[in-house]
Structure 1
Amino acid sequence: MAGPALEPSPIEGAARAEAVLGRLQLLVTRKLDGLLQGDYVGLLPGPGSEAGESREYRPGDDVRRMDWPVTARTTLPHVRRTVADRELETWMAIDLSASLDFGTAHWLKRDLVIAAATAMAHLTVRGGNRIGAVVGTGPGVPEKGRRRNAQPDTPPVHRLPARPGRKEAQGLLRAIARTQVRPGRADLGELIDMLNRPPRRRGVAVVISDFLAPVEGWERPLRKLGVRHDVLAIEVVDPRELELPDVGVLALADPETGELHEVQTSDAKLRQRYAEAAAEQRGTIARTLRAAGAAHLRLRTDTDWLLDMVRFVAAQRHARTRGTTR
C-alpha cells in the first residue's frame, strides 16, 4: 500500500539510484568489515569443506574432524580446521515489484533490497568469488496504453551474468539500482526458478523480496532451489504493513493495481483485524521459508538493517559451528 506519488523521470530515477547506492556502499564498506572481522568463511558462514591447518583437540570439538595422522605423530588428539570452498558462485533473485517502491520510515523497501544486494555482493567478492543476479519487476503498462514516442520498457525479468571482481560487482549493483520499477507484480516463482536454470554446481542462492506474492506461486521453486544450493531468503518489511496508525481517514493506493481505498484508521477493531491478518500473513511466509530449508532474514525500513544483518550472520556462524571452537 502507498499513497499517490509522481513518477520520476528516467534521469531523476538514475540520479537517485546512484546516490542511494553510493550511500549504501559506504555504509557496507565502513561498518560491515569492522563488525564481521575474522577469517572469510563464505556468504552463509559454515565450517566449509576444504582442509586447513590442525590444532589440539578442545572439549566440544566435533570428533568427526579428528586429524588422526597428526594425533598419531604427536600422541595428542588434534582436529583439522576447515575453510570455506573457494570460487563460490552466488546468485541473487531480486524482486522489484511495485510493492517494493514504498516506505514510511528511514528507507523505501526498494532501498533495502538494494542494501541487501550490496551487502551480499560485498561479502561474496571479497573472497574472489562470482556473483550474478536475476532481476524482476512488474509487467508494466500494456503497449496500447503507453504514451506515444515513449521509450520501450526493459524486460520484466533479466539476467545479469555472474562474474568475479569488485568492478564487475559494482556494475551489477548499478544495474540493479537503475532497474525501473513498473506497475504490477513480478512473478516471484518464475524469478526463483531462473536460479535453477541452467543447473549449476552447488553454491549460494539469495532471494530478496517482500514475499507478498501468493505463497503457492513461489513455494515449490524455492524448495527445488534448496535441494542443490544454500538458500538465503531476505524479507523486506515496512512497519505500516504490520499495523495501521490512528490517523483518521487514510487514503491508500495499491502500487500494483492502482486501486484507491479510504480507510478509517480511528476504528480500533479495524486496526486490530489488520494487525492480526498481517501477523498471519508474515507467519505463513516464515513457515514456508523454513519448510523450504532457507535461512530467513527479515529487514525492516524502521530499524538498523546493517546491525540486523550482522546479528543474522553471527547467529548463522554460531549455529553452523556449534560444537566446534574456531
Structure 2
Amino acid sequence: MKPYLMAEPALRRLELTITRRLDGLLQGEHLGLVPGPGSEPAESRAYQPGDDVRRMDWNVTARTNEPHVRDLVADRELEIWALLDATASMDFGTAAMEKRELALSALAAVGFLTQRTGNRIGAHLLHGGGVRTLPARTGRPHLMALLQAAYALPRTRPGVTEPLIGVAADQLGRVVRRRGLVTVVSDFLDPPETWETPLRRLTARHQVLAVEVLDPRELTLPDVGVLTLVDPETGRRREVATGNARLRRRYAEAATEQRDTIARALRRAGVTHLRLRTDGDWVRDLVRHVMRQRRLAMLAVSPPGGGDVA
C-alpha cells in the first residue's frame, strides 16, 4: 500500500483526537506553548529579577525612580518551525506507541492548533538519510502534506551514520530568518554538548519548545530473565540477565542521571521543556503544559501587588 494511503486515515484519527481534546486552547494565544516575548511594545511594569535589561523603559524609570521594563506582545501571525527527530533511537517503544509515533503526535498537535489562525509552519525532518526541509506555508493541505512526509520517513538501518540533532538545529537556525516559534521533538540521546549550544543560539531569536519523548523501558529494566538488547543506531547486541536486582538498580540510577543531565542542559539552553512518555496520556500532559505556561505568561504581565478588588 502506498505511504499516502496508509497515512491518511491515521492522520485523520490523530487530528480528531487533537481537535476534540485541545481545540481552543492555543487559538489566538502564541504564548500558549511557550511564555516569551513578541515584537510589539506593550505596557510598562516594575522590573523583576530575571527580566531582560534590554527591555528597560528608561522614561518610566526616570519618572518613578524605580526600574521598569516594557513587555512585548506577540505578533498576530507566527511562523512556526519544527525539528523532528526520526533517527533510529526513535524507532523504539514498549508501551502504547513508539517514540517515533509520539513525536509525530506532538508535531501534529502544534500544527493543527496553530495553522487555523493563518500561521505558517515548516519542518526539518531528521532521519538516517539526512535532513529534509519542508518550507513554511499556511493552510491545512500543507500541514497534512508535512505530516504525511514525516509519517512516511523510512526507518534507519542499524549502523548507518546519522546527523546529530545539534547539527540539524544549526541548519534550522540558518534557514529560519523570521522570528517565531521553534519546536524541537527528540529523545535528546545525543551527547548534550552536541546540541546545547545550537539550541541556545536558536533561543537568541526564537521561542523554543523542546519536547522530550521517552519510553518507560529507558528508565527501568523489567525482571524478565535474559534479555537481548540491540543498539538501534549501531546494531550492537548484548544479552543482559535482568534477574540481577543490583543490575536493575544501577540501570535505573544511570537512566535517572541521564534524564537529569538532559533536563539541566535544556534549562541552560534557555528553552521550555516538555516531557512526554509513550505510556502516558500525552494529550493530558500537553494540556497541563499549556495551562502552566499560560499562568506563567499572565503572571509575567500582571502589575506587582495586583489582585482582585473587593
TM category, shorter = 0.7 to 0.9
Q: 2:255 aligns with which of 272, 278, 281?
A: 278
Q: What SS does structure 2 have at the residue aligned with 1:118?
A: helix
Residue 84 of structure 1 is matched in structure 2 by 74
Deviation >6 Å, runs of 4+ = none
Q: 2:133 aligns with which of 159, 163, 179?
A: 159
Residue 269 of structure 1 is matched in structure 2 by 246
Answer yes or no: is the 8 Å Cα contact 1:248–1:264 preserved in 2: yes
1:198 CA displacement: 3.1
Residue 197 of structure 2 is matched in structure 1 by 220
1:126 CA displacement: 2.1
Q: What SS does structure 2 have at the residue aligned with 1:303?
A: coil
Question: What amino acid maps onto 2:155 in structure 1?
Answer: V
Answer yes or no: is the 8 Å Cα contact 1:21–1:114 preserved in 2: no
1:123 CA displacement: 2.4
Question: What amino acid maps onto 2:91 in structure 1?
Answer: D
Task: Say what the alpha-carbon RMSD is for the aligned residues.
Answer: 2.6
Answer yes or no: is the 8 Å Cα contact 2:27–2:113 preserved in 1: no
Q: What SS does structure 1 have at the residue aligned with 2:100?
A: helix
Answer yes or no: is the 8 Å Cα contact 2:227–2:242 preserved in 1: yes
- Identity percentage of aligned residues: 52
1:179 CA displacement: 1.1
Following superposition of structure 1 onto structure 2, how do residues 164-203 of structure 1 map, counting pairs within 5 Å? 164-183=138-157, 184=160, 185-198=162-175, 200-203=177-180
1:297 CA displacement: 0.3
1:122 CA displacement: 1.5
Residue 304 of structure 1 is matched in structure 2 by 281
Following superposition of structure 1 onto structure 2, how do residues 47-66 of structure 1 map, counting pairs within 5 Å? 50=40, 62=45
Answer yes or no: is the 8 Å Cα contact 1:46–1:317 preserved in 2: no
Answer yes or no: is the 8 Å Cα contact 1:95–1:137 preserved in 2: yes
Q: What SS does structure 1 have at the residue aligned with 2:239?
A: strand
Greater shift in the superposed pair: 284-293 or 85-94? 85-94
Q: Could you list the runs of 5+ residues in structure 2 that have no partner in the other structure? A: 48-70, 303-310
Answer yes or no: is the 8 Å Cα contact 1:92–1:205 preserved in 2: yes
Answer yes or no: is the 8 Å Cα contact 1:133–1:162 preserved in 2: yes
Residue 99 of structure 2 is matched in structure 1 by 109
Residue 28 of structure 1 is matched in structure 2 by 18
Residue 258 of structure 1 is matched in structure 2 by 235
TM-score (norm 2): 0.81
> How many pairs were matched up?
277
2:25 is the counterpart of 1:40:
no
2:206 is the counterpart of 1:232:
no
Answer yes or no: is the 8 Å Cα contact 2:19–2:113 preserved in 1: no
Distance in 1 (CA, whole Å) between partners of 2:9 and 2:186 is: 22
TM-score (norm 1): 0.78
| Residues 50 and 292 of structure 1, relative CA distance in 2, 3 Å threshold | same
Residue 68 of structure 1 is matched in structure 2 by none
1:231 CA displacement: 0.6
| Residues 45 and 122 of structure 1, relative CA distance in 2, 3 Å threshold | farther
| Residues 157 and 99 of structure 1, relative CA distance in 2, 3 Å threshold | same
Question: What amino acid maps onto 2:138 in structure 1?
Answer: P
Answer yes or no: is the 8 Å Cα contact 2:210–2:272 preserved in 1: yes
